[in-house]
Structures are given as structure tokens and as C-alpha cells.
Chain A
Amino acid sequence: MFPTDLNEHELPRQLQRLLTRTGSTAAGDTPTGMGALPRRSFLKLTGGSGLALGAFPLLAGASASATAADAPAAGAVNATAPALKPTQQPSAFVHIARDGIVTVTINRLEFGQGVHTALPLILAEELDADWRLVRAEHGSSDPAYVDPMFGIHLTGGSSSIKHSFTQYRELGARARAMLLAAAAQRWNVDVASLRTRAGQVLGPAGQHAGYGELAEAAAALPVPAQVALKNPKDFRLIGQATPRLDAKAKSSGQQSFGVDMRLPGQLTAVVARPPVFGGRVARLDDQAARAVKGVKAVLRVPLDRGAEGVAVIADGYWPAKQARDLLQVQWDTANVAKLDSGQQLAQYRELAAKTGAVHFDADMAPLAGAAKVIEAEYRFPYLAHAAMEPLNCTVQLTEQGAELWAGMQGPGLDAMAAAAVLGLKPEQVQAHVQMAGGGFGRRFSIGSDFVVEACHIAKAAKAAGLAVPIRTMWSREDDMAGGYYRPMHLHRARIGLDAQGRVLAWDHVIVGQSIMAGSPFEAFQVKKGVDGTAVEGMREPYALPMRLSVHHPKQNVPVLWWRSVGSTHTAYVMETLVDEVARAAKQDPVAWRLAQFGDKHPRHRDALKLAVEKSGYGQRKLPAGQAWGVAVHESFQTVVAYVVEASVQQGRPVLHKVTAGVHCNLAVNPRTIEAQIQGAAMMGLSTCLPGAAITFKDGVVQQHNFGDYPVARITDAPQFAVHIVPSADAPTGIGEPGLPPLAPAFANALAQLTGQRLRELPFSLA
């Protein structure tokens, strides 16, 4: 969902520029105090150190300004503790109650991927906690909860475990060291004589005390800067298949999500947005809308990308939605470009005929003398994220500032963008991260579109005399037509082979909108005219003489990262083409790949070998009418190989079984890894389903709901067998890497059955 090679020092400065721009153009506001991203935690760190006790140490909204002034720079207070960053302070992450309940704050958004269990598990491992007593809570936009590598709040790029594994281990180890020190004082013994076991400190003379009994004394002790971590062979939680901490709440309707926010006096807003991105209100007749019972106000509000819309505020979603649908709005779309998907395809084809900005090069001369040339054009549509919980954001304007509640992948930037709109300092805005019903990248948009919109509405409502919390909700249709799609792409490949099927030269052109252009990440992600997110996953790990060039046309359609980003299309192109190349060389596609990997790419090799071995590929015969398909792809530093079994029934592609080989280094929670592979594969399968495309006519999105934008259902689901390559190396991510290889593995199987190479997603069988 996010690039992985950002510089944590440069990034905040770039973001600052963007936000200053946003603030100065949005509704003519002049944001005050936009000097810098807040780098200081405003959590009430217990004297700058210690385990949090009693009230959980989140900053109360009412005391924002006072605390901001009073808060010590992290580590500056306790002379014995060297400068620990807020991200290293146990008090911001661990709360141990007197009854022994350990509450761990997660610095990411839980939206299905399992960090709400994995991060506490990692911390509990080093804390030596009793897992039965461990709970999890979401964090906020406080700087303690930034990604320790990126330096900004971010859930994306399958980076949560990769970036916070050591951080959460150290947090647990620091807390444990403080509990040990407290016990040593209580029993007047040498700390070296103490042990811990499952939430208890054990003394040399049979003494024992629960963590809950020691927590208060421990909180008063210095936070150790240096802590020893366990030898991984002593892990008793990490590596175990562990049930999710939220499983019960999510199986009983008890789990609260952003959309479930209910604050005293809260009203609900539903917005009429222009049919074309960037359109504005020319004329409004709201008479019928205002007559709907429960409607409190109808307000014209600034929207994303210079657009204008109409917000209906009512005492619930239903009256707001009814009234919104009764608005008579004449839209002004004269000055905005209106995309047509057919014309776009023609434009992209024309571009693809020419070499674009070169990403990497090779000698293309041998193409002229090739014994055989594979010519291929691939097409990938815009895709909506279509998370089950439609977008929403609740905003409360207070005397001191503002509070936000939403499922946010980037609450720090969201809070800053909100501050710019509301004319507040960044530290006057608190963004409270809420459990989200999916997201897949959509809950972290460049410019914080849905958060900013909700802030504009709350501000307009307050100006209209409605100084109450406002929950802005999107209908499914609003969510689907709201943009920020995976960009449409077209690839063109010309592959020259010699008589033995060896690749002599591979000329490859990609056409698609840049996700990063115009964003604060452009400086890092767009190099020599090539957006890194458009080409990630190309060529590697194969040794191929490839020239890859890129065109990034601009379109009036907001685009965004979408689970596995560039690999959603590059893996498909690469893995279907190398399959074709292998067949052209009369080689088995598994053998061809393994020969390519050799010993240079051992993780690819091991993942593929494991999937092949467990699937029975080459060992057993499939029922008549079925065929094998194989693909392997690395994304976000995790390699996933699929061996699939597929058939065509009544002209419809059917996926029967998926056997996965996964290399994500150390498997923190194998139960979550299995779930993420299954889920990502299903989302990959969704991209194959007929109709799974966002298209445009006269600038208007043609899809509205799950009826015309299908996603995979249980009847589409194959059998799964997920296998993990054993490894002790530092863990890599698992939220996205299961998606890319599914569609190409399926297509490769179908090609064996039909002879047709499918060069378009969704599938279209001849």
C-alpha cells in the first residue's frame, strides 16, 4: 500500500509543504502555526518514564493546549534515562492494571490484517506476560505512534510487523526490566536472582508477585535505555498459531467501528458530490430536502480537488440520505475534464507504441533477428477498494481544537490536514484511530480527502449554529464513485526469442497515471519521470534483457495505492509472460523458474518448491478438464508462490484449489499469515471476475454498488492449503503479498485449458 524506501528525515518536510499548500487553497483559510509536524509526544508520560497506571495516558481533549505547554520533551525529565524517543517509551504503549490486565496500544490501524493481535503478542513475548490477560487498544495521532522507520503515522506497505517488531520487543523488555527492578526493591534481593513467568515475578526464596501488584512501584522507576532481548529459541508466544484478540467481539456484534461512533448530540451528514471529479454547484433547490423530518441543515461545502458539494445534516443516516437524494442540484462541470474509458484505452495504446521514460535499459537490437517474437498488450481497469465499511469520519469541534474519529491509516497527516482546514495548530487536533471495516489503502489518501471533507462539514455546521459532533457518512454508491482508484494501466511487451526459446530482448512499456505525482512522496518515488509504484515487481527476480519504459498521462481521476499497489498489475504481466516464455522453450514452467532463481534467489526458490511439493504438482494427475497454474511473486519483501488447480465450466473460469508457499521470514503468528494469504488471494480472485472494473462515460463513474462491481463471494472461493517456509530472519509483511500471484497463476492454468492467453483483467474468455 505504500512505498518502502522513504527517507524519514526528508518526508516530514515534504509533507509540510503539501499541507501548507492544502491549507492555503482550501476554502481560503489561513492555517495558523503550520510551522512543523509535531515531533513531540503529548501523552502524559509518567514523569517522562514509567509504566502507565490508573487512567490510560491518552491526552484528554480538553487539556490539549495546557499539556502541550507542560509536556516534557521525551527523555528530558529523567536524568537517569537517556533520550528515549516517544516511540520507545513503555508508558505510551503498556498499561498494567492492578488486576494484572495488560493493555497494549497499537501504533497501526487494525483493518483485518491482524496487528491488533500481533503487536501485543510481540510485546507480551518480551514482557513475559500472561497472554490470557493481554488486551489491545488503538492509538491516535500522537507522535508516540509514528512508524519508527518512516517517522510518520502509517499503516501501509505491509510494514507494521517489519518496522515495529524490534520496537515492540524492546518496549516489552523495558517494561519487564522495570517490574523486575520493583520486585528487587520490594524483596531486597539482587535483580539478577529474579525470573519472570507468565505475568509473575519469581524470587529466589519462592517469592512471587503478579505484574499488577508491582506495576505502580515499577512506574516510578527509571526506564532503562538498553535492554537485552530474548534469544528467539526461547520464544513461547511468537511463532505460535495464536487466535485473534478481537475474535469474540467480532463474532457477536460487540466490536465498535468508526461508523458506530455515537457522541452526545451527534448528527449525521450525507453529501451530494458532483458527478464528475472537480465539479461545482451551479444551482441548488433544497426545498424538498429541507422538508424531510429530522433534517437540520443543508449546506454548500468545499470538497476534495476544488469541487463543491451539498451536505445534508440530519438526526440520522436515513433522513440525511433521503434528503440528499431529494436535492435538486445543477452541477457546473464545464471546466473539468470528462474521462471516457474507450477514448482512454485508445490514448494509452497510442502512448504504448512509443518508448517512454526509461526505468532500466537493455540492448533491443536482437529483437530484429529473433526466431520468434511474443507481442502482448495487457489491460487493467481502475479498481475501487470497496471495503465493507463505507467511508466515514466523525468530527467534534471543541473550545480547544478538534477531535476526529475514523478508521485512519495515516492519522498524523489526517490531523494535520484537519488542522489546516480548521485553522488550528496540528497539536490542537487529535485523531482517534477506530477499528476499520477494511481499507486496502483507501483509508490513507493523499490530502486526507474524506477527513478534510468531514472537517469542512463540521465547520460549516458550526457556522450554521450546529455546534455538535458531526458524523459524515458515505453511502456504498458514494464510496464506489468517490475515486482514489487503483489506476488503469496498459502494458505492451515485445519479447524476442531465439530458436531454443531463450529471451534475446524484451521491450516493455507501461502506461498509467502516477499515484505519487503531485503528492509529498513525489520527490522520493518519482525518479526520472518514472513512478516507482508503477514499475515495482517488474523483471525481478528474473535475469532478463529488458528495457522498461513508462508513460504517466494525467487524468481527472484521483488514484491511489490499492492492496499490493504496482504488483496488482506487474505480477500479472510478468508471471503470465514468463510462463509463456517457458512454454515456448518447451520447458516446464516450474523448472524454468527454478533454473532462473538458482541460488541467487533462495526465498523465491524455497517458496515455490514448498508450494509445488505440497500441491502434488508433477506428482499426481488432475481430474479431466482441470489444469495446473503456477506463479510466484515478491512484494513488500515477502515471496508468495501459488500452485492452483482450475477448470472452465460452462464457459466460466473456476478456481478449485490454491496451494501456497510463503516466505515472510520469521512467522510471528502463523494463524494470521494463513488468513492473510487466503484473504489476499480472494481479493486477487475478485480482480478476475467479469465486471470487476471501474469505467467512465462522460466523466461519470459507471458502477454503483456490488451489483455492477462484483467482488468474490463464497461460491467463488477455492480450497486453500497455506504453507510457510521456516525462517528465523527478521519478519517481513503479510498484508499484501498474497494478492499479486493469484490472478496470473489462475490465468496460466486457463491458458493450458483453452490455449488462450488472457491479457486483460477482469478475465474475458474467448
Chain B
Amino acid sequence: MTSLNVNGKEHALDVDPGTPVLWALRDALGMTGTKFGCGAALCGACTVHVDGQAVRSCVTPVAAVQGQKVRTIEAVTDGSDRVGAAVHAAWVKHDVAQCGYCQSGQIMSATAFLKSLPRGKQPTPAQIDAAMAGNICRCGTYARIRAAVADAARSLA
């Protein structure tokens, strides 16, 4: 048995410790909000937070996060997380999603980024691009992602 702390809850999982967190979440726990895009940390669709840091769950073995706290899109956008709620609201307001498949990862990256900023500090456009550069959106929603991240930052000021 391997343990995994997800969204504040401890789970005992019957998976190989080398299993990536992504597949522990999706197949073992049935939490499908975190998406599989590339399996190689190239697209960001699988982004989760590990102790507050944005991490690509497709290349992060369960063994590597023992004793750490994993947070997923489900918890970050359920209203309990101030920054996550602001990002979710901005994403809806700007109608960012098209197919929507990458957006869990986009929101997780944006939330980790805004949490990393000193309170009240507004990001520059270049900072937003740099923070979001690891997340691919094949639908090309980038213009609205930029607007939504900036808007979320303003709403948190």
C-alpha cells in the first residue's frame, strides 16, 4: 500500500510506488479533473499542486510525494481557496475554455503563479506569459488566458 494525501484527505492506494500521481488520481481515485495530455511534462494538462508548487503529475511518482500534500483542480476551484476561486471566476467571466481539456492545468498553473506573487502585486504581461508558458492549449485560448489571469490578479488586490 502506498499513501497519497489529496485535497486534505489521506488515501491508501494499492498501486506501484512508481505510478505517476496523475494515474493514481485518475484511475485509482477516480478523480478525472486532472488531465492526461502528453505523459512527458511537455503540455501542463496534468498540473497539480504539491505543497503549493505547480507540479506535472504525469512524471511525478507517488513515491516522490510521500508526506506531502497534493491539491487538485477539484479542491482549488470549489470555493474554499481564495486565489483558486478568483481564477475560476475570471476563467468563467472571460469564457476562456473552448474544448476545455487543458484548462484544469491552465487554472492550476495560474493559481500557483498568483499565489507566488507578493499580496497586492500585479503581474506584468511578460510575467503572465512566462508563468503560463508550460501549458499548451491547442484551441489557442491564450488571449483570454492572459486577460483572465490579469483580471484574477486585480480581483485579489
Chain B residues whose C-beta falls within 8 Å of the C-beta of A112 in the assembled complex: 98-100, 139
Closest Cβ of chain B to A398, distance in Å, is 23
B27 touches A259 (CB 8 A): no
Offer 9 A-B interface pairs, CB within 8 angstroms, sorted by A: A113-B98, A250-B97, A251-B107, A253-B74, A257-B35, A268-B27, A318-B19, A437-B99, A713-B142
From known contacts A247-B95, A260-B32, A388-B45, infer whether A476 and B39 are also in contact, taking CB-CB under 8 Å: yes
From known contacts A112-B139, A247-B97, infer whether A707 and B40 are also in contact, taking CB-CB under 8 Å: yes
The answer for the CA separation of A121 and B96 in the assembled complex, in Å, is 19
B92 touches A248 (CB 8 A): yes
The answer for the CA separation of A254 and B78 in the assembled complex, in Å, is 10
A246 touches B97 (CB 8 A): yes
With beta carbons under 8 angstroms apart, the residue of A114, A248, A256, A388 that contacts B137 is A388
The answer for the CA separation of A250 and B95 in the assembled complex, in Å, is 10
Q: Is A252 an interface residue (CB 8 A)?
A: yes
Question: Chain A, 678-718, contact with B by CB distance < 8 Å: what is the 0/1 string?
Answer: 11111101000000000000000000011100011111010
Closest Cβ of chain B to A380, distance in Å, is 19
Q: What residue in chain A is nearest B98 (Cβ atoms)?
A: A112
Chain B residues whose C-beta falls within 8 Å of the C-beta of A685 in the assembled complex: 140
Chain B residues whose C-beta falls within 8 Å of the C-beta of A347 in the assembled complex: none
Q: Is B56 an interface residue (CB 8 A)?
A: no
B95 touches A475 (CB 8 A): no
B6-57: which have CB < 8 Å to A?
A: 15-16, 19-20, 23, 26-28, 30, 32-40, 42-43, 45
Chain A residues whose C-beta falls within 8 Å of the C-beta of B128 in the assembled complex: 714
B38 touches A387 (CB 8 A): no
B34 touches A253 (CB 8 A): yes
- Which 6 pairs, one residue from A and one from B, show the smallest C-beta to C-beta distance? A253-B33, A682-B140, A437-B101, A250-B100, A112-B99, A253-B73
Chain B residues whose C-beta falls within 8 Å of the C-beta of A705 in the assembled complex: 38-40, 42
The answer for the CA separation of A386 and B101 in the assembled complex, in Å, is 13
Chain B CB count within 10 A is highest, among A318, A475, A476, A711, for A318
Chain B residues whose C-beta falls within 8 Å of the C-beta of A476 in the assembled complex: 37-40, 43
From known contacts A251-B103, A388-B101, A437-B100, infer whether A680 and B140 are also in contact, taking CB-CB under 8 Å: yes
A438 touches B91 (CB 8 A): no
Q: A247-B96, A714-B142 are in contact. List 11 more A-B contacts (CB 8 A).
A: A250-B100, A256-B32, A257-B35, A259-B36, A262-B32, A386-B138, A437-B101, A675-B98, A706-B136, A713-B135, A714-B146
B104 touches A707 (CB 8 A): no
Q: Is B115 an interface residue (CB 8 A)?
A: no
The answer for the CA separation of A388 and B104 in the assembled complex, in Å, is 12
Q: What residue in chain A is nearest B27 (Cβ atoms)?
A: A316
B19 touches A257 (CB 8 A): no
A679 touches B98 (CB 8 A): yes
Chain A residues whose C-beta falls within 8 Å of the C-beta of B129 in the assembled complex: 714-715, 717
A717 touches B140 (CB 8 A): yes
A714 touches B99 (CB 8 A): no
The answer for the CA separation of A264 and B55 in the assembled complex, in Å, is 31
Chain A residues whose C-beta falls within 8 Å of the C-beta of B107 in the assembled complex: 251
With beta carbons under 8 angstroms apart, the residue of B16, B32, B138 that contacts A388 is B138
From known contacts A386-B138, A715-B133, infer whether A475 and B39 are also in contact, taking CB-CB under 8 Å: yes
Closest Cβ of chain B to A277, distance in Å, is 23
Q: Is A255 an interface residue (CB 8 A)?
A: yes
B: residues with CB less than 8 A from A are: 15-16, 19-20, 23, 26-28, 30, 32-40, 42-43, 45, 72-74, 77-78, 88, 91-92, 95-104, 107, 128-130, 132-133, 135-146
A714 touches B92 (CB 8 A): no
The answer for the CA separation of A72 and B142 in the assembled complex, in Å, is 49
The answer for the CA separation of A720 and B140 in the assembled complex, in Å, is 12
The answer for the CA separation of A114 and B100 in the assembled complex, in Å, is 11
With beta carbons under 8 angstroms apart, the residue of A243, A268, A439, A682 that contacts B142 is A682
Closest Cβ of chain B to A558, distance in Å, is 21
Chain B residues whose C-beta falls within 8 Å of the C-beta of A388 in the assembled complex: 35, 37, 43, 45, 99, 101-102, 136-139
Chain B residues whose C-beta falls within 8 Å of the C-beta of A114 in the assembled complex: 98
Chain B CB count within 10 A is highest, among A318, A476, A714, A719, for A714
A675 touches B95 (CB 8 A): yes
Q: What residue in chain A is nearest B24 (Cβ atoms)?
A: A318
Closest Cβ of chain B to A341, distance in Å, is 23
Q: Is A359 an interface residue (CB 8 A)?
A: no
Chain A residues whose C-beta falls within 8 Å of the C-beta of B95 in the assembled complex: 243-244, 247, 671, 675
Closest Cβ of chain A to B7, distance in Å, is 11
Closest Cβ of chain B to A672, distance in Å, is 8
Q: What residue in chain A is nearest B22 (Cβ atoms)?
A: A318
Closest Cβ of chain B to A654, distance in Å, is 13
A434-462: which have CB < 8 Å to B?
A: 435-440
Closest Cβ of chain B to A615, distance in Å, is 16
Closest Cβ of chain A to B37, distance in Å, is 5
The answer for the CA separation of A475 and B98 in the assembled complex, in Å, is 22
A293 touches B16 (CB 8 A): yes
From known contacts A251-B88, A251-B97, A717-B143, infer whether A318 and B27 are also in contact, taking CB-CB under 8 Å: yes
Closest Cβ of chain A to B46, distance in Å, is 11
With beta carbons under 8 angstroms apart, the residue of B77, B103, B143 that contacts A678 is B143
A535-583: which have CB < 8 Å to B?
A: none
The answer for the CA separation of A260 and B34 in the assembled complex, in Å, is 10
With beta carbons under 8 angstroms apart, the residue of B28, B36, B132 that contacts A714 is B132
B28 touches A251 (CB 8 A): no
Chain B residues whose C-beta falls within 8 Å of the C-beta of A93 in the assembled complex: none
Q: Is A521 an interface residue (CB 8 A)?
A: no
Chain B residues whose C-beta falls within 8 Å of the C-beta of A636 in the assembled complex: none
With beta carbons under 8 angstroms apart, the residue of B19, B30, B73 that contacts A262 is B30
Q: Is A382 an interface residue (CB 8 A)?
A: no
With beta carbons under 8 angstroms apart, the residue of A113, A252, A386, A712 that contacts B140 is A712
Chain A residues whose C-beta falls within 8 Å of the C-beta of B101 in the assembled complex: 257, 387-389, 436-438
Closest Cβ of chain B to A405, distance in Å, is 13
Closest Cβ of chain A to B146, distance in Å, is 7
Q: Is A111 an interface residue (CB 8 A)?
A: yes
Chain B residues whose C-beta falls within 8 Å of the C-beta of A244 in the assembled complex: 95, 97
The answer for the CA separation of A717 and B145 in the assembled complex, in Å, is 11
The answer for the CA separation of A464 and B39 in the assembled complex, in Å, is 30
The answer for the CA separation of A440 and B101 in the assembled complex, in Å, is 14
A254 touches B33 (CB 8 A): yes
Chain A residues whose C-beta falls within 8 Å of the C-beta of B26 in the assembled complex: 260, 317
Chain B residues whose C-beta falls within 8 Å of the C-beta of A661 in the assembled complex: none
B104 touches A253 (CB 8 A): yes
B40 touches A717 (CB 8 A): no
The answer for the CA separation of A293 and B96 in the assembled complex, in Å, is 40
From known contacts A388-B136, A711-B138, infer whether A719 and B143 are also in contact, taking CB-CB under 8 Å: yes
Q: Is A390 an interface residue (CB 8 A)?
A: yes
Chain A CB count within 10 A is highest, among B73, B101, B137, B141, for B101
Chain A residues whose C-beta falls within 8 Å of the C-beta of B15 in the assembled complex: 316, 318
B100 touches A390 (CB 8 A): no
B20 touches A318 (CB 8 A): yes
A711 touches B27 (CB 8 A): no
